Amino acid sequence: MFHFSISASDSINLEELLQTIIEEKTVVTNVYEVINLGNFFFSEQLYMPALDEYVKALQIDPSNKIALINLSYTFFKMDDFDKALEQLVPLKEDDIAYAYYIRGMIFKEQRKLEEAIAQYEKVVELVPNHPQLYSELGQLYLDNHQLVKANKRFIEMGYCKYRSPIMEKLVAYQPNAYCYLHLGNYYRNNGELEQAQEAYQRATQFDDDQRS
């Protein structure tokens, strides 16, 4: 295993060093590989670099629905609701549960309960028997004083089997050397050298390119 350390005065070009370790095929050209890197940054709660990767993905494929939704969701996590909604405009004719869900969450945060309920009702049509969705929709009904509908959803929720959170698949990622190389670059550019060192070291631990 190759080991190295980083200091502010380190004259070694770390990118060149790592390129001797990481195979050339880690250069990303496929839109889903770019999205994977964005999801990796998102998982680290590094939303700005995640945004950059989703924008790159849309430059490769401007109509990519996953990139649009992930970009919207990232803006939502950053509390930029207007930009989050803007990314979903191209999908307004599509019945995509994720798009309805993000709109619903935004309207819920804005306390636009009727609009939020309308979006959530579309989500549960597309993703039935999901306890998380039933719970959130039931709470919206309750907040909007629709007690009969709220009670119905809470009862239905009790009969649902566990299902993973609705956004889990959307932001799933497969870590690889390319991800950790870029994470190291991000931390180094921000002067966070200890985190950079850890990320670069993780990059060297992949025997080959293990991207999906």
DSSP states of the chain: -------TT--S-HHHHHHTTS-GGGS--SHHHHHHHHHHHHHTT-HHHHHHHHHHHHHH-TT-HHHHHHHHHHHHHTT-HHHHHHHHGGGTTS--HHHHHHHHHHHHHTT-HHHHHHHHHHHHHHS-S-HHHHHHHHHHHHHTT-HHHHHHHHHHHTTPPP---TTTTTT-----HHHHHHHHHHHHHTT-HHHHHHHHHHHTT-SS----
Task: Tell me what pLDDT residue 19 has.
Answer: 53
Instruction: List, run by run, the mean pLDDT of 10-residue segments along the chain (212 residues).
Output: 47 53 54 94 96 96 94 98 96 90 97 97 94 95 96 90 90 90 90 90 73 40
Query: Could you tell me the pTM of the whole model?
Result: 0.81
Task: Tell me what pLDDT residue 123 has.
Answer: 95
